[in-house]
A and B are shown apart, each in its own frame.
Chain A
Amino acid sequence: MTVRIPIVENILNANDRLAEENRARIDSAGVFSINIMASPGAGKTSLIEQTLPRLKEKLRVAVVDGDIATSIDADRAAQAGAQAAIQVNTGGDCHLDAVMLRGALDQLELTQFDLLIVENVGNLVCPANFQIGTHLNVLVASIPEGDDKPYKYPGMYRGMQVLIINKIDLLPYVPFNMDYFRTGVEVLNPGVITFPISAKTGEGLDAWIDWLMDQVKNKK
């Protein structure tokens, strides 16, 4: 006789459970952590390069870099002043998942740090679907990508808690309707905290750094 068994379990439950374990480890070390996501070329690594020197002697920062191949980004983070920079090569996978972050956490003495920055694989689709256990997801949008990205990649624009709009120094040179962009963001993620910046000129970075320092302080 056929019987129906009710389940109601989220399909990506296994990853979510591991992400919770990662979160507990990060929490118990008193560390604040962010997961930086963006399409390739939006400026994730440049943002980290500009952020680290501004935190020097204030915070102890570990960076975990996810990439399909190479250690270019971890090398850049170490160069910019990260106390630890760990490269995770995903072996072709287009996003970091909770298992990969766990492997990276195993290599860190977490209590030695105040801030953990995870740089996800450059991709505007999948990373939002895979929780890794950090406290907040930060999405880096950039002006040359175009103002239609929230409409075309709603998953990523919904799956973040902080939005950085990078390369605002290019606004005079490329067609980008900020109102149209912001309307798309507002629908998907009402009231999301937003920092318009230029990682090249340094414009807007002070507000981002102040906010980051506050988050770390609140975590202690």
Chain B
Amino acid sequence: MHELAVTQSILEISLRHAKEAGASQVTGINLVIGEFASIVDDSVQFYWELLAEGTIAKNAKLHFERIAGVMTCTNCKYSFHPTDMNFSCPNCASEFVQITKGDEFRVDSIDVD
């Protein structure tokens, strides 16, 4: 997606909370990213090294917790991981399914000294 804007946002959120906590250094950023929220880890890491330079978060390690996408059949309630171009339920073949996991896109916590 928009890794530069996303990285700026992550930095802003992290620094704001670190300041509120009176931290002297941010050592880790814990992100939770769902499979359907497209983002490239390496790009975020790359921008981070440029953007965080000169801040108390410059040495922070970015941790990406990936949440696999899950769909749930509204007919038989079976949950499954969808494959490309096929969203129908592998249990009962129903096409009435809903996305129940995989949208996550948040800063979950930060580690500070």
Contact = CB atoms under 8 A, between A and B. Distances in A.
A151 B13 CA distance: 33
Interface string A110-135: 00000000000000011001000000
Interface residues of B, number: 38
Given A187-B97, A190-B96, A3 B111 contact: yes
Interface string B74-113: 1000000000110110000001111100000111111111
Interface in A173-220: 183-184, 186-188, 190
B21 A12 contact: no
A106 interface: no
A8 B106 contact: yes
B6 interface: yes
Contact of B13 (A13, A148, A158, A186): A13
Interface in A1-43: 1-14
A9 to B, nearest CB: 5
A4 B109 contact: yes
Contact of A11 (B18, B27, B36, B107): B107
B10 A154 contact: no
A5 B9 contact: no
B27 A7 contact: no
A184 B111 CA distance: 41
B112 A148 contact: no
Contacts of A184: 87
B25 to A, nearest CB: 9
Interface in B1-51: 1-2, 6, 9-10, 12-14, 17-18, 21, 23, 27-28, 30-31, 36, 38
A12 B9 contact: yes
A5 B110 contact: yes
A144 interface: no
B95 A183 contact: yes
Interface of A: 1-14, 125-126, 129, 148, 151, 154-155, 158, 183-184, 186-188, 190
